Structure 1
Amino acid sequence: MTSLHDLSHRHDDQPELLETDHIPPGTPILELVGLQKKYGAVEALKPATVTFLAGEIHAIVGENGAGKSTLIKLLTGVIPRTSGEIRWCGKPVALATPNEAIQRGINAVHQEVVLCSHLSVAANMFLGDEMSSGGIMRKRAMTTAAQNVLDDLGFNLPAGEILGNLTIGQQQLVATARAAMRGIRFLIFDEPTAYLTRQESAQLFRLIRRLQSEGVTIVYISHRMEEVFELADRVSVLRDGTHVGTRLIGETNDAELISLMINRSIEQIYHKEKLPIGATILEAKGLSGPGFSDVSLSVRSGEIVGLYGLIGAGRSEFALGLYGRHKLTAGEVFWDGKKVVIDTERKAMDLGIALAPESRRDQGLCLNLPIGLNINLPVFGRLSRGLTISPKLEAGNADKQINDLKIKTPTRAVLASAMSGGNQQKIVIGKWLSHGARLFIFDEPTVGVDVGTKAEIYRLFAELLKQGAGIILISSYLPEVYELADRLHVFRQGRLVASHDYRGASHEDVLTEAIGV
């Protein structure tokens, strides 16, 4: 098998990785000494001292807003530090620009893929480092080289395909392959499995272990504790911008890490109250559409209906059809017992259906608009006096949702793009709470959010149910739907293949039904 270092592609006029940076495994490769980042009076990262060892897998956990994103940006040269020192292989370094970080072999694979969706996989992998001859780009050579890399990594992906045609999980693997090609000694993964299937996650874990065996240091940031304990050698915890401790993975457990992260016990995370189930709000009979076929289910007041399955199983496609975004080809929908036609999103919204989509950045938010404006978008008609929007009502509604949902922001005027993933999810939820919907569809609501924010979202579910709403909860994370859903439906290959009452089947049974073995 080819070494990952042999896969790196650099032109002769590009700087090579600094050979003087080679150090023995197990010795400090990167040290943070009192590293601090301030934005005005706000400390995004308080003075932190952390050591990373060559060849280790070092996990970092913490709530959204704990400082993880700031740390990534400091280590990859995206933002300058306010104070403190960074030592690379025992020597102080600036890491003032992304190019300096890349030259030393420091790369990151981000949770939100930041590649060009209109270009091919190969073009994205060679972006900024294209092969050319006589001023003409060698597209065929790049496609062949990229395919060799993808095949060697074990990623079953076509190098010639347009990136935007791939799933979000597949795009994440492309970003990983791109990092491997650039030459790496220190690789940061930020929530890498958030959108991956089990098979894709397994491919990624094999790659991570392979990189480690070749001496690469891995920093693994994840909210999924089972992954941390499966992969990591050591784990560091951040809380409120402070490094609160580092543990050997064999000398800690879930309960201790969660306590360090949020000062709450693990028993407090999943919040399932026994609530009375009311009348049927929505009933779907034999619905078919793009990506799903012959699906029948109902949602009652005070009930969470869980939809589980592997990515691409038809869960999200069903939800989009129910919401009017995709055209139904067969079946009937009943709302409060009356047959309705939902062929547009506006009709769904007018009935009282709200959708918090899987990709909150692309589909759920206007990132270039302030938080308050995002929250108020569905309800400006209620906030108006004639043709004029009431500033008092507008501010009051936005501030209520910000306070109720504990969105961490100094003001409603902050752009949504500046918020962490967890806070962005809260903004999406706040928008629909303002609308006053009766049926909430949450598609992967806790992807990329920490355990503290998960607990807050689950408590929010309980409040919605108490108010008489119903919830459709779509999740690829089995413990989530298993612990929360009053009725759990399993999807496979576009069909609903099994249904269970609360805890009516084992984890193993549900997973077997989803996989189809």
Structure 2
Amino acid sequence: MTTLHDVSHRHDGDPALRETDHVAPGSPILELVGLQKKYGGVEALKPANLTFLAGEIHAIVGENGAGKSTLIKLLTGVIPRTAGEIRWCGKPVALATPNEAIQRGINAVHQEVVLCPHLTVAANMFLGDEMESGGLMRQRAMTKAAQNVLDDLGFNLPAGETLANLTIGQQQLVATARAAMRGIRFLIFDEPTAYLTRQESAQLFRLIRRLQLEGVTIVYISHRMEEVFELADRVSVLRDGTHVGTRNIGETDDAELIALMINRSIEQIYHKEQIALGATILETRNLSGPGFSDVSLQVRSGEIVGLYGLIGAGRSEFALGLYGRQPLSGGEVFWDGKKVVIDTERKAMDLGIALAPESRRDQGLCLNLPIGLNINLPVFGRLSHGLTISRRQEASNADRQIADLRIKTPHRSVLASAMSGGNQQKIVIGKWLSHGARLFIFDEPTVGVDVGTKAEIYRLFGKLLREGAGIILISSYLPEVYELSDRLHVFRQGRLVASHDYRAASHEDVLTEAIGV
């Protein structure tokens, strides 16, 4: 049976690069000495001194734009440094290309999956190092070997399945398995649990601990403080491109780390406004469609209705059916008390329903268009006079949303692809604020965003509710949906299995209902 250990020997890299790559556990394996990165006159990473120890789990936390992504790119050879030195096993190294980093055993698992969706899981895992014989790929052998590796890792995934058919969370596990096969010595995880279920996260944590026992150094980047304290030995904080401190995990707490990150207290993060509930905006009765059935719920003006469940439980599928993106097979929808048929997205938009989808990059944004164009996409009809778009109104509307949402950009003409995850999420929200919707469906709205941006998004929820809107909040992060929802619905296997008023049930009750034990 092929295991992770067997396959990883295929990725041992250049022996010449590994001759002196030996350090004792607990000794410095990678050191940054005055490492700096500038883009023109902007310092994305100010001169940083940071040491990673062999065999440790070292967490890095910081707001979006703090320099975390820049650091990853420098360590994996994606971008050149402006100044400073990187020492690997005590000796200066260039890390000038991704190939050099990989050959030294430095790999990264990114928040946004960067694999080939049209290929199988096995083909993605062996991409660039395919098994072949006589010039032909040995697809069956690769599928068998990949399946054995996935089983060895504890990932319940089919190696022969096309990647695009898997959930985003499952694709993230495939990316992790691919990295783990490369003979790693230093592995960076960037928000690895953002799209994972509770069970998938547990599988990943077991793998991380296993890799640590095998001597691999882990860099763990996350906005979820509970994960940092569960896994890490040490934690470093970045703020505005500056390394502001490193702490042993047993000598700090989340209040100190948040204060270092954003100069705000933890009490300011979760903020729920008490808003009087109004009339019912939306009601569904026994609504059914692909992936869900017999869902009945109501959303009132001023109300946050939370949907919680494991990935694949039917929450997102329900939202897509309600929005007209997927066909409904049964049930009824009432808007302001009147029965309506929503069989297209246009009908949903015309009623006043807005959807901020789970995958903002794939479904919520046009990444190759400027921020201003993205924000104005739903309202160009209002900004036009005949066939002519009013440039003044276009600019005014975009600039107003950029200012109101505190989108960090020098100008509306910057491409959406150049923005951080938190700012991209704000752009998605901004375009629907322009539209003037009355019901907002937010599917995983804070995935991959920092605690400061979360607080801003939560305050935005309050603004929408005060103006008479209703919100459907879908989140895999139980503390979020638990603390914010006026009414919390629990999904399991495509059905709504339990409902609770605000804080009427414990975390344990909700988890038990979602898992079904």
TM-score, normalised to structure 2, is: 0.98
Aligned partner of 2:172 in structure 1 is 172
Quick one: distance in 2 between partners of 1:159 and 1:499? 37
Larger mean Cα displacement after TM superposition, 337-346 or 12-21: 12-21
Aligned to 2:107: 107
Q: Decide whether aligned partners of structure 1 residues 131 and 341 sit closer, same or farther in structure 2, where only a CA change above 3 A counts.
A: same
Shift of 1:41: 1.1
2:451 alignment partner AA: V
Q: Which amino acid aligns with 1:261?
A: M
In 1, Cα distance between the equivalents of 2:463 and 2:266?
Answer: 21
Residues 454-513 of structure 1, C-alpha deviations (whole Å, 9 max, x = no match): 000000000000110000000011111111001111111111111111111111111111
1:235-314 alignment, distance < 5 Å: 235-314=235-314
Q: Greater CA deviation, 127-136 or 30-39?
A: 127-136
Shift of 1:19: 3.6
Alignment of 1:10-89 (within 5 A): 10=10, 18-89=18-89
CA–CA separation in structure 2 for the residues paired with 1:311 and 1:335: 28
Check if 1:378 corresponds to 2:361. no
Residue 440 of structure 1: aligned partner: 440
Rounded to whole Å, the distance in 1 between the matches of 2:92 and 2:371 is: 39
Query: CA 1:109–1:163 in structure 2 vs 1: closer, same or farther (change >3 Å)?
Result: same
Residues in 1 aligned to 2:42 and 2:496: alpha-carbon distance in whole angstroms? 49
Are the aligned partners of 1:76 and 1:101 in contact in 2 as well (CA < 8 Å)?
yes
Q: How far off is 1:200 after superposition? A: 0.8
> Does the aligned pair in 1 maintain the 2:56–2:218 contact within 8 Å?
yes
User: Is 1:123 equivalent to 2:135 in the alignment?
Assistant: no
Change (3 A) 1:23 1:14: closer
RMSD: 1.4
Alpha-carbon distance, 1:3 to partner = 8.1
Deviates more, 1:354-363 or 1:161-170: 161-170
CA contact (8 A) 1:3 1:214 kept: no
What corresponds to 1:426 in structure 2?
Answer: 426
**Equivalents in 2 of 1:41, 1:389: separation in Å?**
35
Change (3 A) 1:11 1:133: farther
Write the distance in 1 (CA, Å) between the matches of 2:93 and 2:7.
27
Superposed CA offset, 1:19-69 (max 9, x none): 420110000000001111111111111111100000000000000111100
Counterpart position of 2:486 = 486
**Aligned residue pairs, count:** 517
Once the two structures are superposed, residues 341-378 of structure 1 have per-residue CA deviations (whole angstroms, 9 ceiling, x without a partner) of 00000000000000000000100000111111000000
Name the CA distance, whole Å, in 1 between partners of 2:479 and 2:24: 40
Secondary structure at the counterpart of residue 245 of structure 1: strand
Instruction: Give the whole-Å Cα distance in 1 for the aligned partners of 2:511 and 2:252.
Output: 28
Tell me, in whole angstroms, the C-alpha distance in 2 between the residues paired with 1:11 and 1:207.
19
Q: Distance in 1 between matches of 2:474 and 2:324?
A: 17
AA paired with 1:98? P
Report the AA paired with residue 84 of structure 1: G
Q: Secondary structure at the match of 1:73?
A: helix
Residue of structure 2 in register with 1:510 after alignment? 510
Q: Structure 2 CA distance, aligned partners of 1:15 and 1:460?
A: 54
Unaligned runs of 5+ residues in structure 1 are none
Quick check: 2:2–2:148 contact (8 Å CA) kept in 1?
A: no
Letter matched to residue 327 of structure 1: P
Q: Displacement of 1:7 after TM fit?
A: 3.1
1:155 is matched with 155
Residue matched to 2:193: 193
| 1:212 matched residue in structure 2 | 212
Whichever residue aligns with residue 73 of structure 2, its letter is: K
SS of the residue corresponding to residue 20 of structure 1 reads coil
Which residue pairs with 1:364 in the alignment? 364
Q: Quick one: distance in 2 between partners of 1:191 and 1:81? A: 23
2:334 matched residue in structure 1: 334
- Compute the displacement of 1:6 (Å): 3.9
- The residue type equivalent to 1:328 in the other structure is L
Once residues 9 and 431 of structure 1 are traced to their aligned partners in structure 2, the CA distance between those partners, rounded to angstroms, is 49
Structure 2 letter corresponding to 1:81: R
Contact preservation (8 Å) 1:286, 1:330: yes
Superposed CA offset, 1:225-284 (max 9, x none): 110000000000001111010000000001000111111100000111111111111111
User: What is the CA distance between 1:10 and its match in structure 2?
Assistant: 2.6
CA distance in 2 between partners of 1:331 and 1:142 (Å): 45
Give the CA deviation at 1:172. Answer: 0.8
Residues 389-420 of structure 1 show CA distances to partners (whole Å, capped at 9, x for unaligned) of 11111111111111111111111111111111
Counterpart of 2:97 in structure 1 is 97
Contact kept, 8 Å, 2:26 with 2:54, in 1: the verdict is: yes
For residues 468 and 374 of structure 1, what CA distance do their matches in structure 2 show? 25
The percent of aligned pairs where both chains have the same amino acid is 90
Structure 2 distance, partners of 1:147, 1:312, is 22
Distance in structure 2 (CA, Å) of the matches to 1:515 and 1:41: 51
Alignment deviations for residues 199-244 of structure 1 (CA, whole Å, 9 cap, x no partner):
1111110110010001100000001111000000000000111101
Q: Distance in 1 between matches of 2:9 and 2:167?
A: 26
TM-score computed with the length of structure 1 as normaliser: 0.98
Greater mean deviation of Cα atoms: 232-241 or 174-183: 174-183
Correspondence 1:382-461 to 2 at 5 A: 382-461=382-461
Alpha-carbon distance between aligned partners in 2 of 1:374 and 1:336, rounded to the nearest angstrom = 29
Residue 180 of structure 1 deviates from its aligned partner by 1.1
1:445 alignment partner AA: P
What is the CA-CA distance between 1:13 and the residue it aligns to?
Answer: 9.2
1:4 deviates by: 5.0
Alignment partner, residue 351 of structure 2 = 351
Q: Partners of 1:283 and 1:9 in 2: how far apart? A: 57
Q: Tell which deviates more after alignment, 134-143 or 292-301.
A: 134-143
Please give the secondary structure, in 1, of the residue aligned with 2:226: helix
Give the Cα–Cα distance (whole angstroms) in 1 for the partners of residues 398 and 368 of structure 2. 17
Secondary structure of 2:23 counterpart: coil
**What do residues 396-447 of structure 1 show as CA deviations (whole Å, max 9, x unaligned)?**
1111111111111111111111111111100000010000000000000001
Contact 1:25 1:215 in 2 (8 A): yes
> C-alpha separation between the residues in 2 aligned to 1:16 and 1:36?
28
2:183 pairs with 1:183:
yes
| Residue in structure 1 matched with residue 477 of structure 2 by the alignment | 477
**1:14 Cα shift?**
6.0
- Is the contact made by 1:17 and 1:183 (CA closer than 8 Å) also made in structure 2? no
Deviation (angstroms), 1:17: 6.1
Q: Is the alpha carbon distance of 1:245 and 1:11 closer, same or farther for their aligned partners in structure 2, counting shifts above 3 Å?
A: closer
Q: 1:11 to 1:348 in 2, by over 3 A?
A: closer
Counterpart CA distance in 1 for 2:477 and 2:6 is 36
Which amino acid in 1 is paired with 2:194?
A
Residue aligned with 1:455, SS: helix
Partner of 1:135: 135
Counterpart-to-counterpart distance in 1, 2:489 and 2:16: 53
Measured in 2, the distance between the counterparts of 1:17 and 1:207 equals 26
Provide closer, same or farther for how the CA distance between residues 12 and 484 of structure 1 changes in structure 2, counting only shifts above 3 A.
closer
Does structure 2 retain, via aligned residues, the 8 Å contact 1:125–1:174? yes
Would you say the 8 A contact 1:277–1:300 is kept in 2?
yes
